[in-house]
Amino acid sequence: MSILKRLSTTLISRIDRVVTEIENHDAVIQASLNEMSSKLATAKITLSQACRERDRLKTEIEKQRDNMHRWQERAISCAKSDEPKALECLRRSHKNRDQAAMLQKSFGEYARSIEKMTGNIKSGEQRLTEMKQKLTLMRARQATSKISTTTCPPDSAAESILEDTFNRWEIHISHDEIPLNCTDTNTVDELEHEFITQEQQNDLRNELASLLTQEKQQ
């Protein structure tokens, strides 16, 4: 009788261990799926922020280009009556042109990052769907063992810390990707400055003459 009792105890112990392992597997997989879902949600927030910044840059580029053409038109309109004012208009047109070019470079970087993030999110969602389907299948195969699976609610404090960290990281990357206006620390003497100024004036006069010629031909 004692032998049967020992065998029974051993068998029950082994069954309990198998059930515990199954429960642990389910919990580990579910936790991993929750983590994948959380990462995808964070990635979508980052993507949304990047899209907003890209759209802002696009609007700013269009604004700078409109201003560039506007100053060119002003230069043409006052070229005959006030040459210094026309040259100043061209200088401002050049400033808008350079600003638009700088913003266009940042826009391109954002566009490439957004394309990459979009692809990663799509792949991640597909993988998550496949894993959820596989988990459902594994649970169905174990249905006869009457195993109940419980999952813990997500830690809202930890989730908040993750979201804040990703947001700060995104802002930091955004600031680094947008080039800043650099100041030229090189100094030139008065004679060189005089020649540079004269050369710039000549370039502007030539550009103004070209614009006037085009205007007459139209």
As a whole number, the mean pLDDT across the chain is 78
- The tokens describing 184, both together, are 């030229």
The answer, yes or no, to whether residue 92 has pLDDT greater than 60, is yes
Which among 124, 99, 126, 103 has a CA at the least distance from the CA of 46? 124
For residue 144, which amino acid is it? T
Q: How many CA atoms lie within 13 A of 118 on its CB side?
A: 9
Q: What is the pLDDT of residues 135-164, one digit of tens each?
A: 888 878 776 555 434 444 555 565 666 677
Q: What is the pTM of this model?
A: 0.55
- Dump pLDDT digits (tens) for 16-46: 555 555 557 778 888 888 898 999 999 999 9
Is pLDDT of 183 > 50? Answer: no
Give CA–CA dist 17/63, Å, rounded: 69
Q: Residue 182 — very low, low, confident or very high, per pLDDT cuts 50/70/90? A: very low
pLDDT band at 195 (very low <50, low <70, confident <90, very high): confident
- pLDDT tens-digit series, residues 98-114: 999 999 999 999 999 99
Q: Comparing C-alpha atoms, which of 173, 27, 54, 50 is closest to residue 121?
A: 50
181 against 80, higher pLDDT: 80
Which pLDDT band, with edges at 50, 70 and 90, does 62 fall under? very high
